[in-house]
Structure 1
Amino acid sequence: MTTGTTTVDAAALPLRTRIGQVNQRLKGWEAVRWVDGAPRVTDVLRREVDRWGGLGALYGVLRADPWSAVRWADGIPPERSAEAYAAVQEHVTRYGDGLPVLFVEEVPHGLQALGGTTLPVNLALGAGMDVDLAHDLAALVAAEVRARGTHVALVSGLDVLRDPRWGRAEECFSEDPALAALLVEATVRGMQGTTSGADAIDAAHVAVVAKHLAGQGAGVGGRNGSGAPIGRRELGEIHLRPAHAAARVGVAGYMAAYNDVDGVPCSANRDLLTGTIRERWGWDGLVMADGTAIDRLRDSAPDPASAAALALEAGVDLSLWDEAYTHVEEALDRGLVAEAVLDRAVDRVLALKRRIGLLGPDSPAAPATGSAGLPGGLDVRPQAPATSPTSEAGRERIALLARAARQSVVLLHDEGVLPLRADATVAVVGPNADDLDAQLGDYTPPRPDPDSEASTVLSALRDRLGADRVRHAPGSRLRGPLDDPAALDAVRDACAAADVTVVVLGGTSRRGYDDEFADNGAVEGPAPDTTNGEGVDLASVALPEAQIAVARAARAAGRPVVGVVLDGRPRVLTALTPLVDALLVVPFPGPRGGEAVAEALLTGTAPGRLPATFPSADGVMPVAHDERRETARGYVDAKEVRGWVLGTAHAPGVTATLREDTVSVTAAALADGATATLTVDVRNDGPRTVTLPVPLWGQRRERGIRPRRRGLLGVQHATVAPGGSVALTYPLGLDALGSWADGSPVAVPVTVAAWCTPDPDAPAGTAAVRVTDQEGTTPWER
């Protein structure tokens, strides 16, 4: 067999090769190591190739982090990544059955490899609500990832944040499915360079496996991987909408989630993985299991062969670190699964290899053959370092990353203390004031040392104001007090010697090389000060008392206090709010986050909006802005469950006014691509130029269906000078006005109330968007 044919399919392959193609058992850092300045394949890889004649895919050759135990001292140098891949590919194709292997890496917010660009986390991009930015960031990362030799990027974004207690909240774009869908679609387009599943993925882009499908953000109690006890309508309206958006622009694959939906594990859910995404949506790509997820089916199956059969029948084409798929031959012999089902999975793996250019020189996606003459055109010559910051491309990259960090910053309120005076002496206190790890998020590689691209809030303010005008004291750890009994006295002294205090609190997804990890990489312990990330679900999302004590000490000094919360999840801020005169919330903004926060402090403006609702207290979940309207009064001891609602931003002097009273479109026209257009006039009577996303909210009114309080109909961006105004148009199509009850948009007659004010419920005097039947009416009006 040769790799120079595009006609290879499962029927032409021996059984052991077919089983090998659906297996992705190895961890790449164990298959190839960097020894004495060169890549060396290991016996782990040799044994796997001898056993199966090859590999379908190999995960994590470049991964660097505490779980892989890969550091700068012993990892693959960024500029020589292709050499490591080439060593694997050469061994697999020479000693196996000739089929090249897909190289798969984690890219949840940048490549998790030495030297990989680290972006703000998804929740931070949700604060920006900027589709164009999401696309451009994705394209930037894709070019970097593919240049290093990676074929497939595992990209977070399908999860919808429905419970702040979940440690992986930072991987979600928002609690609102419409916002998540907009940003997922832009990310896939940017990374793959595609607009449909028929498009090849060229040598400047990378295939995306979007994760996780589906409902993982609705786990019971916010516990990672726990069941999602939701009905079909909730699944469709909330959790499938981002996945549908990805399918529409040709996403290469999905990762099936750990959780079950109403008792059926996603990795064994044929209605989800075959009936919904393939038969109803018409999508034709690859489904990958999450790490060890098929082995976890042992609670739903009597043995590994049965677990493998369940997953194959459901539509899982490629495993990840599982043993179950090594029992596929046994499953075939026992009649648990048909050989045609295995062949279907193998053909999907081969189809992705063709789409990415690995199979066949005639593929439009195939790059030029590299110096080693290996499939996929791997060029193993040492690569140039990352784009020079002094080049035009380097300056564009820096500007894009800085823009993303700025849009992560949300100003919630200000009682007149911002902007900070240019001649002010500032105390910068709190555990996150000078902690770069607290800005980065989970799935982050170790930063280089020195790190010229990074800034903390403390370092950025020192750069702006001068070190002699900035005082500092950490005051506490994130979870508890410092060992130093005088830590809070140091805070009081620093604040008393300053004109204003900036107290920087929040959380971190820090992983340490001494921490312990589960078999899927989730942190298990000790991680004494880690508060976020996979495996770090919290029963309480209130800021810990030790952090509140720092804010109290700052307030006691009698100076104005600005609170900054750097975190990857919504927090209860009820105890903090009365202690500060201004408050900023910043979802993990990435390495440039310190400079972004400093700019907001010194200009008094911030371009972000809350991407999720912050609860008013522990124990009041759920609190999402689009929960259904309730008939109950709430809790006796917590009358208002929501603290700060999604979309909140403090922009004094900025008003938004909806022009139209009523617009109409027929359901038939909507289904054919017609839109109903609303216009919002945005005026700025404040003293400074403001750049801000302007959301348009809506509430569906369907007979017999309890309405959600509101949902996002659309979002546009406005930059308005003092005394100026701009008009924004919102063309509302099928996505905005259709019913998502079954996970895809359907045009049905309906009345939708629309408004652009911050109200969490429909205010008086909303506009009406009417989707009518052929008689020109809606069920709500009869």
Structure 2
Amino acid sequence: MIAASSLPLRVRVGQVNQRLKGWEALRWVDGAPRVTDVLRREVDRFGGIGAIYGVLRADPWSAVHWHNGIPPERSAEACAAVQEYVTRNGCGVPVLFVEEAPHGLQALGATTLPVNLALGAGMDVGLTEELAAAVGAEARSRGTHVALVSGLDVLRDPRWGRAEECFSEDPALAAMLVAATVRGMQGHVAVVAKHLAVQGAGIGGRNGSGAPIGPRELGEVHLRPAFAAARAGVAGFMAAYNDIDGVPCSANRALLTGTLRDEWGWDGIVMADGTAIDRLRDSAPDPAAAAALALRAGVDLSLWDEAFTHLDEALDRGLVDESDLDRAVDRVLALKHRVGLLDAPAPVARDIASLVDRAARQAVVLVHGKLPLDAAATVALIGPNADDLDAQLGDYTPPRPADDPGASTVRSALVARLGDDCVLHAPGSRVRTALGPEALAAVESAADRADVCVLVLGGTSRRSYSDEFADNGAVEGPAVDTTNGEGVDLASIALPEPQLELARTARASGKTVVAVVVDGRPRALTELAALVDVLLVVPFPGPSGGAAIVSALFDGTASGRLPASFPVADGVFPVAHDERRETARGYLDHRHPAGIPFGSGVSVAAEVREATYSISAAELGNGGSVLVEVDITEAGPAAVPLYGCRHELGVRPRRRTLLAVRRVQDETTIEFELGLDELGSWATGQPVAVPVEIGIWSTDETDEPAHAVRVRVTDENGTTPWQR
């Protein structure tokens, strides 16, 4: 393998830079790929390139669409043209092709999955791994080496616009699903998991804002998914925009070197988030000093930054040692070796469409009410998301083909099921704005003529080619009706008033009212819930979401659980189910902040067999485990969670934590094997065996029930400090 020490200095600097936006490096001209002067200048400047981001990316920010983008079937050819130019005109070291894949490859014709929050609702580790493998195979066959994959962020503030990229508010569930994603995808491409760390708990839910939390909160909540990814062999981590107690993540040596490498023994690559090193200018006097901060902290590869091109100056000024640069270059070269840059892609055929459909169906959460509906009903279909495919997709999504046979909105799926005459469509409003008296009158008319009213409400991460974007692709400036995604943090998460007015109008008709909230973040739904007979919540379910929702309505197939708690009202935060128990009494006007708790949805009647289990900390630390049996008296396709409450001397307990989860079909008894991950302390970001007593239960109660089963992790004397 090539070593950094064998390369000239300018080439080494080039290898740790990823400045180009890939769609600017290549043009599709007269039916063939053509490299641009932008690429030529970069190769000439550095004698090669470490990595190129987004050669295949297609979306409004890149301004790439079906009329000017790379045809899907010729993606690998386009990447090969860039690769040939870089290796022939540079130092001979191939370039890494890096693409976004937060819920499918962000390229023309690629498969779009339900967003992470939807997979969190399904709580299906096996399906998540299968989906990741299929996406990885698709990405590799099109020339991609490295996929940027969301999943480390833990959703602790629903005001954050990127909530849809989180698997859950629960760190254990997030850890299970991100590890499954890494395992599945890395059979084909390398994964850089993002974002490290605490971006889901920024002040006020503002993207990239600081996270003034303590080390225990950091370890127990925000590092647990990262440790799971590292243990699964993830190729890289992306350092986030935010700071932790004032120290920016991309300059945080204690995190990027101390935790990841020294404590965890992980040996992959750290990539900075887009322009994150340039943003260190508020912490450093000039670009060279900012680059030195990041390099010394443990960043190996930049993303669109100018600052990292000043590393030669940083060396001249003695701000970094040459060994610091060589260490980063060697990690980049090791990744190139790992992904087999000189090997031909090995496409793997997978039936990804059926997996996507299955994930969409598992994302449908029945919060209250009874289904299915009468198959002979005439439906008044109301609301802004009833016939809007884009509203089902989430952010970081390529444009869909004009004629996509696998796509369905609620309206198209209802018409296919009931016939056009039985579906009376009246949108009534946009997502955030009213359409006027005539539109509301049309809603009244449809409701009067129908047997049942189905409202499809919520939000959208829609991006328009006329929108304004920041230098990292986040929405900047007003975007019509966009309520979710990067750059769309909200001060209020109440359902917009025009949508509530639709619910009031439907309620006044006297008909059965069903509300389907399609969104990418928790909402305050208390008022809506009081206006409807049936309430479904569906995190952005992907292109086949319409059919999944209609199946839930008429076949009773809803089997998801809420992956995050929904607040009882706007401004009531935090509400996560695993917050610590408080001595305060809560808000005077809202004693119980969580309106709809984590885990709500179609549940299975299950109960832990009463017992007291005991295991020593030494046994637990050496791979020991406890088998807890759960009896199921009412089965069906659903997730069965196992909750626990830790009692550790001197530590205020959390109300409950998710220990494990299993999806079941028709089982009558299941076993949970609880080992170090489930019973250990995560205070340092990795599991450690300590004496503790844990109450365990499988019901959906938000506080530990009196009949909870106990697991005692004992010390060398056979007791726990809690018992003493």
Q: Return the TM-score normalized by structure 1.
A: 0.92
**Counterparts of 1:682 and 1:518, CA distance in 2:** 51
AA of the residue aligned to 1:413: H
Q: Which residue does the alignment assign to 1:118?
A: 112
**8 Å Cα contact 2:559/2:602 also seen in 1:** no
**Counterparts of 1:33 and 1:630, CA distance in 2:** 58
Question: What SS class does the counterpart of residue 76 from structure 2 fall into?
Answer: helix
> How big is the shift at 1:526?
2.7
**8 Å Cα contact 1:411/1:585 also seen in 2:** yes
Residue of 411, 429, 432 corresponding to 2:382: 429
**Counterparts of 1:493 and 1:454, CA distance in 2:** 29
Question: What SS class does the counterpart of residue 324 from structure 2 fall into?
Answer: helix
Residue of 707, 710, 722 corresponding to 1:765: 707
1:521-670 to 2 correspondence within 5 Å?
521-651=473-603, 654-670=604-620
Question: What SS class does the counterpart of residue 566 from structure 1 fall into?
Answer: strand
Q: Which residue does the alignment assign to 2:88?
A: 94
Q: Which residue does the alignment assign to 1:348?
A: 331
Counterpart check, 1:714 vs 2:660: yes
Counterpart check, 1:160 vs 2:150: no
Question: What SS class does the counterpart of residue 525 from structure 1 fall into?
Answer: coil
**8 Å Cα contact 1:660/1:678 also seen in 2:** no
AA of the residue aligned to 2:259: T
Question: What SS class does the counterpart of residue 64 from structure 1 fall into?
Answer: coil
Question: What SS class does the counterpart of residue 633 from structure 2 fall into?
Answer: strand
> How big is the shift at 1:137?
0.2
Q: Which residue does the alignment assign to 2:132?
A: 138
> How big is the shift at 1:765?
1.1
Q: Which residue does the alignment assign to 1:511?
A: 463
> How big is the shift at 1:378?
6.1
**8 Å Cα contact 2:227/2:686 also seen in 1:** yes
Counterpart check, 1:179 vs 2:129: no
Residue of 657, 678, 696 corresponding to 2:642: 696
1:9-158 to 2 correspondence within 5 Å?
9-158=3-152
Counterpart check, 1:675 vs 2:658: no
> How big is the shift at 1:655?
1.6
**Counterparts of 1:215 and 1:378, CA distance in 2:** 35
**8 Å Cα contact 1:210/1:251 also seen in 2:** yes
> How big is the shift at 1:398?
2.5
**Counterparts of 1:502 and 1:408, CA distance in 2:** 18
**Counterparts of 2:513 and 2:339, CA distance in 1:** 53
AA of the residue aligned to 1:377: A
Q: Name the stretch that deviates more: 660-669 or 264-273.
A: 660-669
Counterpart check, 1:450 vs 2:403: yes
Q: Which residue does the alignment assign to 1:738?
A: 680
Question: What SS class does the counterpart of residue 636 from structure 1 fall into?
Answer: coil
Residue of 420, 424, 436 corresponding to 2:373: 420
Q: Which residue does the alignment assign to 1:779?
A: 721
Q: Which residue does the alignment assign to 1:202?
A: none
Question: What SS class does the counterpart of residue 722 from structure 2 fall into?
Answer: helix
**Counterparts of 1:728 and 1:492, CA distance in 2:** 49
Residue of 298, 301, 308 corresponding to 1:318: 301
**Counterparts of 1:164 and 1:149, CA distance in 2:** 36
1:261-410 to 2 correspondence within 5 Å?
261-358=244-341, 375-377=342-344, 393=350, 396-410=351-365
Q: Name the stretch that deviates more: 711-720 or 265-274.
A: 711-720
AA of the residue aligned to 1:288: M
Q: Return the TM-score normalized by structure 2.
A: 0.99
**8 Å Cα contact 1:71/1:446 also seen in 2:** yes
**8 Å Cα contact 1:123/1:170 also seen in 2:** yes
**Counterparts of 1:649 and 1:665, CA distance in 2:** 33
AA of the residue aligned to 1:42: T
Residue of 392, 395, 398 corresponding to 1:439: 392
Residue of 677, 694, 713 corresponding to 1:752: 694
Per-residue CA distance 1:204-258 (angstroms, 9 max, x = gap): x000000000000010000000000100000000000000000001100000000
1:181–1:378 Cα change, 3 Å: closer
Q: Which residue does the alignment assign to 1:461?
A: 414
**Counterparts of 2:344 and 2:563, CA distance in 1:** 41
Question: What SS class does the counterpart of residue 516 from structure 1 fall into?
Answer: coil
> How big is the shift at 1:603?
1.9
**Counterparts of 1:338 and 1:398, CA distance in 2:** 50
**8 Å Cα contact 1:503/1:551 also seen in 2:** yes
**Counterparts of 2:486 and 2:61, CA distance in 1:** 12
**Counterparts of 2:404 and 2:345, CA distance in 1:** 29
> How big is the shift at 1:278?
0.4
Q: Which residue does the alignment assign to 2:220?
A: 237
Question: What SS class does the counterpart of residue 695 from structure 1 fall into?
Answer: strand
**8 Å Cα contact 1:411/1:605 also seen in 2:** no
Question: What SS class does the counterpart of residue 99 from structure 2 fall into?
Answer: strand
Gaps of at least 5 residues in structure 2 are none
AA of the residue aligned to 2:722: W
**Counterparts of 1:665 and 1:580, CA distance in 2:** 49
**8 Å Cα contact 1:660/1:679 also seen in 2:** no
Q: Which residue does the alignment assign to 1:367?
A: none
**8 Å Cα contact 2:161/2:489 also seen in 1:** yes
Q: Which residue does the alignment assign to 1:364?
A: none
**Counterparts of 1:249 and 1:676, CA distance in 2:** 23
**Counterparts of 2:354 and 2:664, CA distance in 1:** 19
> How big is the shift at 1:774?
2.0
Per-residue CA distance 1:147-171 (angstroms, 9 max, x = gap): 0110000000000000000000000
AA of the residue aligned to 1:336: L
**Counterparts of 2:118 and 2:534, CA distance in 1:** 20
> How big is the shift at 1:467?
1.1
AA of the residue aligned to 2:384: P
Per-residue CA distance 1:81-111 (angstroms, 9 max, x = gap): 0111111111101111110000000000000
Question: What SS class does the counterpart of residue 368 from structure 2 fall into?
Answer: strand
Question: What SS class does the counterpart of residue 637 from structure 2 fall into?
Answer: strand
> How big is the shift at 1:618?
1.2
**Counterparts of 2:151 and 2:683, CA distance in 1:** 20
**Counterparts of 1:297 and 1:258, CA distance in 2:** 10
> How big is the shift at 1:397?
2.6
**8 Å Cα contact 1:718/1:726 also seen in 2:** no
Per-residue CA distance 1:751-778 (angstroms, 9 max, x = gap): 0111111111101110101111122111
**8 Å Cα contact 1:675/1:732 also seen in 2:** yes
AA of the residue aligned to 2:677: D
> How big is the shift at 1:745?
0.5
**Counterparts of 2:545 and 2:690, CA distance in 1:** 44
Per-residue CA distance 1:486-515 (angstroms, 9 max, x = gap): 111111111111100110100000000000
Identical aligned residues as a percent: 72
